[in-house]
Structure 1
């Protein structure tokens, strides 16, 4: 049922943001000012959360949790274009609700905006690279291995990209509602989403150029 698929996308995206934002808040509080330790903790929680969420909700909605992924899946004919706007809407709503829930759990204001600046050509390029890679993994990974491969890629990209690999317009949207380690200032979100959109387009194009998997 369409309602079940949309609910699954809402819930999985909300839980993804709870994982990312909540672990960022916890890591920041426990790391004693050591950003490397905080990022490592944030990474490990995100990797585990992503794997579980894809395995759990994938059979229901695909567990895209990401408008760029949903658009790519629609482009390859596996999601109706008429359903795509609804997927994106519930992903955005889920991301915001997930950030608010994380704030509430850690005693932060329910509705706040991040002051963490994330801007500059290097970070935008990092988001392009992160999203290209994510789309290639999603589009080319064997179905039985997609959860592990997506989780592993995002975990690695947290460290090898300058932007810590958002690679997800919904995540960028949701993370602006938490003034924490994982946050992003609202004014920096449009450029991140533009970079992610470009990265997704490049990822789809590269996938087509590579053709079908032969092994």
Structure 2
């Protein structure tokens, strides 16, 4: 953990997660509005904005809080012993609350009602597998990126940009994002009834990635980073 105070770390997590959700939902609204019914163009706009903001937010807040912005990431770092239980719980709470606030900010910017509930059904084995795969890949990208001393901000931004398109679920890969997106009736929403299935799949994917990292980077003998 960094030398910054706990309040600074929590504020960084709040700002980062809030901006992430404002970007996801806001770009979805803008994309759908301007795409004239072309869902592919709307998704492309949503994808580019999300990938870009992730690079910025992780680069900006990574040195302060680690730039988790995601309970699945926090869970993995807790299991690795890199963050304490109390702080991990505080991170998750802040991520969920600030994510919801980010959705409301997006609604306000586009002059939509703040209180909304999504009716966008995202359910079934394909969607659940997609979320497990998406979260596995995200955690793998972070852990191996840190190990290799790569540019994790760019790596995560590029991974999520790709995962939007190669997963059937468009890669939520984040329980806080999933909860927040259930509170928007816009393009990027998810029905509240489908939230538990996504979160379970995300947790399973993150745990599998942690196990995979342990096998490859430790159990098989580490190779010094170039």
| TM-score > 0.5, shorter chain as reference | yes
Identify which of 30, 41, 47 aligns with 1:26.
Answer: 30
Root-mean-square deviation (CA, aligned residues, Å) is 1.0
Q: CA deviation at 1:80?
A: 1.4
Identify which of 63, 81, 85 aligns with 1:77.
Answer: 81
Q: For the residues of structure 2 that align with 1:104 and 1:72, how far apart are their CA atoms?
A: 34
> Which residue is equivalent to 1:68?
72
Structure 1 segment 1-215 matched on structure 2, within 5 A? 1-142=5-146, 143-212=149-218, 213-214=222-223, 215=225
Deviates more, 1:165-174 or 1:80-89: 80-89
Deviations 1:163-205 (A, max 9, x none): 0000000000111111011111111111100110111111111
Deviations 1:65-124 (A, max 9, x none): 000001111111221122111000000001100001001111111111111111111000
Unaligned runs of 5+ in 1: none
Superposition TM-score, scaled by structure 2 size: 0.93
Unaligned runs of 5+ in 2: none
Q: Which runs of 4+ in 1 moved over 6 A?
A: none
Superposition TM-score, scaled by structure 1 size: 0.98
Q: Name which one, 1 or 2, has greater alpha-carbon Rg.
A: 2
